Amino acid sequence: MLRVVAVVLASCTLALPARAADWPMSHYDAQRSAASPQELPLELHLQWVRQYQPLETAWPDQPKMQFDAAYDPIIVGKTLYVGSSWTDSITALDTDTGAEKWRFQADGPIRFAPAAWQGKLYVGSDDGFLYCLDAEKGSVVWKFRGGPADRRLLGNERLISTWPARGGPVVADGVVYFAASIWPFMGIFIHAIDAQSGRAIWTNDGDGAIYMKQPHNTDSFASVAPQGALTVADDTLLIPGGRSVPACYDRKTGKMLRYQLAENGKRGGGSEVSAMGKLFFNGGAAFEVATEKWLGDFGRQVVLTPDVAYIHNKGSLRAYDLKTAGTRTFETKDKAGKTVKTTKWVMDELTGFKMPAVEVLIKAGSRLYGGGEKKVLAVELPLPVEPGKEAEKLPAVTWHEAIEGTVVRLAAADGKLFAVTLQGRIYCFGGREVAEPVVHGIPTAPAVPEDDWTRRAAVILENTKVRDGWCIVWGVGKGRLTQELIRQSNLQVIVIDPDEKKVQSLRNQLIASGHYGTRASVHVGEPASFPLPLYLASLMTAEDLESIGAELSPALLKKMFASLRPYGGVAWLRFVRG
């Protein structure tokens, strides 16, 4: 069902970023053009480096769905914002020094770059919510649940919403769009939200089961499975479908316009979509927005301006004239020598030259910037090669730098170039020469000395014989039971406590020790109402149930029992009356 509350779109023209020097969304703007007017210094010098834990993608076996394989920062003013699926956080960094300003944590992994607009950040999380944050303080202004209820399950070895916000947010004309759910049979939920107030403009929650033709040419129930950052093409909202081509929705009403799944079953596909004018680009191919018709193969690294498309494909950097894109009729001779007319889509090539492979390409001012294995470089525009020819040398490369790792993300803002590697490093290059770049390593927590909780955890593990699987700890307490269960076993620990301050304190401790997201997560919730999945826990325990206001009532025991694994799940609870 499509629910329209109000429509407030001031113009068909996309709102430009508030400042040309910003990089307010992934790939710069709502079209994901990867092209900014920001001019960077000719000579760039390393200013600082920050090391984070390398990320693990949600789909390691799907090359078209690597949207969360690396950090994807945005920049507004003097602040860089970067999300993390390890720590479920958005962190604000000073662009001059790389120092941390603040950190906000959601209740699930953050897999997409936030979108910025008028002093606010819009953040989607696997906990199912879209968060609106104050960009200066990191505090929550409002939040909007993407799915129909607070129902949780295990996803990618984390406790997440049944309807995670995997349609990454995009902002255009004061409206933020996002989508929740990844499985059509569970329902998909697409939203247009007033970016200021958090009020729903429209919600499409009825397209999860459309009787449509599949790539194997058979009709069945299916729909788009949102997996990627949403993209805006004038009045059309493009929703990536993971391995499939994106679905096209009316941006004003939320109605599906087209989803040519069967027609493009072997064409395009992937979580990255960019658009310009009448065209969009997805999975190494070009498509027509109005029909979603496949037009031809194209490069996977695409940079778009209103006039020129730049791509890196098959060992060459090329520029194409977007104004010439269209169908043309050609005359050729068949085998019998007879003249045959054929019509095909073409776009005139302007220039091109051979260049070593890059993993990412952006435009900033009068230069292209590329990154790849152990390198980042700048290419002067326009490309100095005659149309249709290639040069063995690279006269247009005006700057390059060798770095550790493989660069897979680039952003240009605040007079600086930011390069992100697959190995978790963020490099900042600027025009100022520095004697020694600042290096921010991964912080380490001091070792915790053994105490009474060391013994108590050992007693629990010895008596229950549970050292693997999932463990529910009711209440943060001092955090020592959680720390010892992690240290003395292979358990994956989920901690639940109603006190937000205690939750955040333990989260900070586990982040510092490197265990958050890998061995443990901490959630705000009441024991009696927290929506744990059935049959989850091999072990259930607590430091002190009374400290979180819980009583071992029949109702609570019944709820706990429902989340224990059959044939081996154990609850070890110490309850002391005052």
**Region 67-88 average pLDDT:** 97
Position 448 scores a pLDDT of: 79
pLDDT exceeds cutoff 80 at 577: no
C-alpha to C-alpha distance for 233 and 250, rounded to whole angstroms: 10
φ/ψ (deg, to 5) at 322: -65, -25
Report the CATH architecture of 2-46+55-431. Answer: 7 Propeller (2.130)
In the chain, where the domains are located: 2-46+55-431, 452-572
Q: What does the DSSP assignment read for 44-56?
A: -EEEEEEE-PPP-
Please report, as a single letter, which amino acid is at residue 387.
Answer: P
**Region 157-180 average pLDDT:** 97
Contacts of residue 278, defined as CB under 8 A and 6 or more positions apart, other chains included, come to: 288, 289, 290, 325
**Region 351-364 average pLDDT:** 90
Helix boundaries (H) for 378-527: 452-464, 480-488, 500-512
pLDDT exceeds cutoff 60 at 389: no
pLDDT band at 12 (very low <50, low <70, confident <90, very high): very low
Query: Is-contact 199 193, C-beta < 8 A?
Result: yes
pLDDT band at 14 (very low <50, low <70, confident <90, very high): very low
Classify 508 as helix, strand or coil.
helix
% of the chain residues with pLDDT over 90? 74
Position 387 scores a pLDDT of: 55
C-alpha to C-alpha distance for 302 and 85, rounded to whole angstroms: 26
Position 575 scores a pLDDT of: 55
pLDDT exceeds cutoff 70 at 397: yes
φ/ψ (deg, to 5) at 140: -80, 125
Q: 14-28, 34-48, 449-463: which range is least confident on average? A: 14-28
pLDDT exceeds cutoff 60 at 492: yes
Distance, C-alpha 121 to centroid of its chain: 14
Name which of 105, 133, 42 is nearest 367 in CA terms: 42
Classify 164 as helix, strand or coil.
coil
pLDDT exceeds cutoff 60 at 1: no
Q: Which token pair is 393?
A: 């040398």
pLDDT band at 356 (very low <50, low <70, confident <90, very high): confident
Distance, C-alpha 107 to centroid of its chain: 15
Position 212 scores a pLDDT of: 81
Query: Distances in Å between the alpha carbon of 430 and those of 23, 44, 272, 345?
Result: 15, 5, 28, 42
Q: Compute how many other C-beta atoms are within 10 angstroms of the C-beta atom of residue 209.
A: 14
**Region 268-286 average pLDDT:** 94
Write out 350-372 in H/E/C secondary structure: EEEEECCCCCEEEEECCEEEEEE
pLDDT band at 535 (very low <50, low <70, confident <90, very high): very high
pLDDT band at 316 (very low <50, low <70, confident <90, very high): confident
- Counting Cα atoms < 13 Å in the Cβ hemisphere of 398 gives 16
pLDDT exceeds cutoff 70 at 220: yes
Report the CATH architecture of 452-572. Answer: 3-Layer(aba) Sandwich (3.40)
pLDDT exceeds cutoff 70 at 218: yes
Position 20 scores a pLDDT of: 62
Name which of 441, 405, 440 is nearest 423 in CA terms: 405
* Cα radius of gyration (the chain): 26
Q: Compute how many other C-beta atoms are within 10 angstroms of the C-beta atom of residue 330.
A: 10
Helix boundaries (H) for 435-553: 452-464, 480-488, 500-512
Query: Is-contact 139 175, C-beta < 8 A?
Result: no
Q: What is the pTM of this model?
A: 0.93
